[in-house]
Structure 1
Amino acid sequence: MRVGFFINPRAGYGVILNRKGSDSLPDIDPNLSTSVTVGKKFLNGVRDLGIHFLVPSGIMGSEELDALGIKDYEVTSFPGKNTDASDTVSFIRSLKKMEPQLIIFCGGDGTARDILSAGTGNVPVLGVPAGIKMESSVFAISLQHAIFITREITVSGTVETVVGEVVDIPESDLDTLHPSPKFYGELTTPNSQDMVSSPKLDFYQGNREGIVDYVIETMDPSINYIIGPGSTCKSIIARLGKETGLLGFDLVKAGEVLESDISEQRIYELADKGSCKLVLSPVGGQNFLLGRGNKQISSRVIKALDFQNVIVVSAPEKLTYTKRLYIDLDTSASITIPRYIRVITGYGMFKIVELEG
């Protein structure tokens, strides 16, 4: 099978700088690129399938294949040292005469937009989640799900397809109080239950007052609370008299908002000291608890906190059709994911939901 494959080395890099996107970053250090790490893990997971890879040269493709000792590849484009969106477009266009059966990329929503702008015809596209913003329905649920989909397609030799939506939040909107994703177009994707089924949906949130009341009334004044992104969590912040960005994390203690838009490093420092709890709400439509929309929560943060100190809140409407919540974290720190977690859905009201990670 001929597969177009590339890595956007900038994808996910913004987390290091406490940015909510990576599209407009200056020069990056390839050794710190999370997408390169994800790309290598993906390639290692499919190396035995006899795939003939069509790749860009350098860090976007051939370097990783060489590092893993994978020889069956062909270079079709030659990006510059400091890669950008134009290199993605050039690579996708270079594939048209090569007739790949599948295009696989490691990146985020911005990368998916670049692929869309280049045009892929009807070649199915599979996204390996490696960015900060990943709300498009062109991504596998996780790295392992992407490996499984690829193995399934390669063994069968055919790809059943469906249309996936490409959505993104423009970087100019990321630091506004109420950013929202915009629809850019559609790509053909594999039809698999291991794909993200839909972009983030705007749910009727119902009456959040009960959730907010319960969380605030049960807060221990001696404990630091890290309040996550999303409208439900931000209702807690609003009740405490502040208005902060929808996508950021805030620090609350003894009923006061002490810090806003805090970084992964700051969250880890607080978690590592103990006496800290994390308040999160799942991403509507995608059913992710961790790994989408909250990249500031890394595996080392969860290891320091432990799941017993994770408080999950959600309007009941958001959970109506939710069988499980997904967790897609980096594997730099070993964590144990419980089988179930309790979700606060109202004042003193709970739902037990299965976790998958």
Structure 2
Amino acid sequence: MRIGFIVNPWSGIGGSVALKGSDGKDVREESLKRGAEQKAMSKAQTMLTTFLQDQPTNAHEWFSAEGDLGASLLHQCGIQPLHIYPEPLPTQTESIDTQNIVSWFIQNQVDLVVFAGGDGTARDVCSVVGASVPVLGIPTGVKIHSGVFAVTPHAAGEVLSNLLNGQLTDLRMEEVRDIDEEAFRQNRVASKYFGEMKVPISAEFMQHVKVGGIEQEDLVLNDIAEWLDETHQSDCVYFMGSGKTIDFFMERSKLSNTLLGVDAVLNGKVIKADCTEQDILHLAQKFKSQAIISIIGGQGHIFGRGNHQFSPQVLATLTKSAFTIIGTKAKLKTLEGRPLLIDSGDRNTDLKWAGLITLLTGYNDEVLYPLVAL
């Protein structure tokens, strides 16, 4: 996995000395005059220590910035490989530096951004990330009104460990909120909404459950189909294939389907049945394109088993963001914690896809799950 890790070392500096926050150079300087200590790094270290209890230090690629912004902690923990933000940074970093570092994370296609800070740091991260990649907040600030944080630094380490161990982890859109610190110092709480980010949440199997805790597959697939209908884009070609899950969606839409092939659907009509690799490439040049596929239960392959039409060339043309990957929680449980697999036929393509991927598991219900290239 590729993990972006950043710490706001000044986060929470004003809390213990009654300054109600840490935003701004003047507040930080006054906090130090009053004897405040920086505690953000120790809290971030708690997260890393918890995480590394169940993870080898060299199992993932980490991206961070020098010194207290994250790299010093990662070095102390012996984490490798470690990629460092290449641009020079001022001695005292500000919001724009956080935003630039997180932008670099995104450019390097990280699977997850982990940040330590408070609501102000969450705002900075949100301004860059939006809903593009999942985030996990380590709470170290005075103000924690946003829903993107774990309840404690230790809990953040547990969530990250569970996620990378293949345990089902829901993805939810959570709010980023911040308050006016000046108003807060005058005992007025003025909270403002700034956006939303995708956050990994420990999964609970609550929907469509019979006695014994087994999902009713048809009900779940109906929910997924309704969500696909709601998010359907007009004048967009959908490449549907292959297998019984996709067959369910096609039958529900009263469309003919190639069970063991890929069909191209445009505005509710099949425009090309049983597509070849070249058919997909040709149509992708003419139309805005999306693809809907499902995982293979028990095995966990997403590419390379029964859908070779999605060749390395097709995967490079459509890119990861064009794929909706269906995997019910019942089907994921059959993997017993094993990761999903990709075997496209091209090692470089497989490595580019490897990491954390988003699976659609229900109506507006997503989980994060690891994908590996063996």
Under a length normalisation based on structure 1, what TM-score does the superposition of the two structures give? 0.50
Q: Secondary structure at the match of 1:163?
A: strand
The equivalent of 1:131 in structure 2 is: 141
Counterpart AA for 1:183? Y
Q: Secondary structure at the match of 1:138?
A: coil
What displacement does 1:185 show?
1.0
Note the 1:1-357 alignment, pairs <5 A: 1-24=1-24, 25-27=27-29, 32-47=37-52, 48-49=55-56, 50-78=59-87, 79-156=89-166, 160-192=170-202
Instruction: Find the aligned partners of 1:83 and 1:157 in 2 and give their Cα distance.
Output: 36
Counterpart AA for 1:148? E
- Aligned residues of 2:118 and 2:142 also touching (Cα < 8 A): yes
Q: Bigger radius of gyration, 1 or 2?
A: 2
Instruction: Find the aligned partners of 1:177 and 1:46 in 2 and give their Cα distance.
Output: 37
Instruction: Find the aligned partners of 2:70 and 2:132 in 1 and give their Cα distance.
Output: 23
What displacement does 1:88 show?
0.8
Q: Secondary structure at the match of 1:156?
A: coil
CA deviation digits over 1:177-209, x for unaligned, max 9? 332211111111113369xxxxxxxxxxxxxxx
- Aligned residues of 2:113 and 2:135 also touching (Cα < 8 A): yes
CA deviation digits over 1:194-241, x for unaligned, max 9? 9xxxxxxxxxxxxxxxxxxxxxxxxxxxxxxxxxxxxxxxxxxxxxxx
After superposition, the Cα gap between the structure-2 partners of 1:95 and 1:32, relative to the gap in structure 1 and judged at 3 Å, is same
Instruction: Find the aligned partners of 1:135 and 1:192 in 2 and give their Cα distance.
Output: 20
Instruction: Find the aligned partners of 2:8 and 2:168 in 1 and give their Cα distance.
Output: 26
Q: Which runs of 5+ in 1 are unaligned?
A: 195-357
- Aligned residues of 2:62 and 2:80 also touching (Cα < 8 A): no
CA deviation digits over 1:52-89, x for unaligned, max 9? 21111121011112223323211125432112111110
What displacement does 1:172 show?
2.2
Q: Secondary structure at the match of 1:13?
A: coil
What displacement does 1:35 show?
0.6
CA RMSD of aligned residues (A): 2.4
Fraction of identical pairs, as percent: 28
Instruction: Find the aligned partners of 2:37 and 2:185 in 1 and give their Cα distance.
Output: 24
Q: Which runs of 5+ in 2 are unaligned?
A: 205-374
Q: Secondary structure at the match of 1:32?
A: coil
* Aligned length, in residue pairs: 194
Counterpart AA for 2:101? F
Q: Secondary structure at the match of 1:4?
A: strand
Instruction: Find the aligned partners of 1:77 and 1:138 in 2 and give their Cα distance.
Output: 27
Instruction: Find the aligned partners of 2:46 and 2:109 in 1 and give their Cα distance.
Output: 25
Instruction: Find the aligned partners of 2:2 and 2:20 in 1 and give their Cα distance.
Output: 34
What displacement does 1:26 show?
3.6
Instruction: Find the aligned partners of 1:94 and 1:193 in 2 and give their Cα distance.
Output: 30
What displacement does 1:118 show?
2.1
- Aligned residues of 2:169 and 2:202 also touching (Cα < 8 A): no
Q: Secondary structure at the match of 2:202?
A: coil
The equivalent of 1:273 in structure 2 is: none
After superposition, the Cα gap between the structure-2 partners of 1:17 and 1:172, relative to the gap in structure 1 and judged at 3 Å, is same
The equivalent of 1:222 in structure 2 is: none
Q: Secondary structure at the match of 2:147?
A: coil
Counterpart AA for 1:89? Q
Q: Secondary structure at the match of 2:106?
A: coil
- Aligned residues of 1:167 and 1:183 also touching (Cα < 8 A): yes
CA deviation digits over 1:25-49, x for unaligned, max 9? 34577x9311111112212222334
- Aligned residues of 2:131 and 2:196 also touching (Cα < 8 A): no
Instruction: Find the aligned partners of 1:177 and 1:11 in 2 and give their Cα distance.
Output: 20
Q: Secondary structure at the match of 2:172?
A: strand
- Aligned residues of 1:77 and 1:91 also touching (Cα < 8 A): no
Instruction: Find the aligned partners of 2:156 and 2:129 in 1 and give their Cα distance.
Output: 22
Counterpart AA for 1:122? S
- Aligned residues of 1:2 and 1:101 also touching (Cα < 8 A): yes
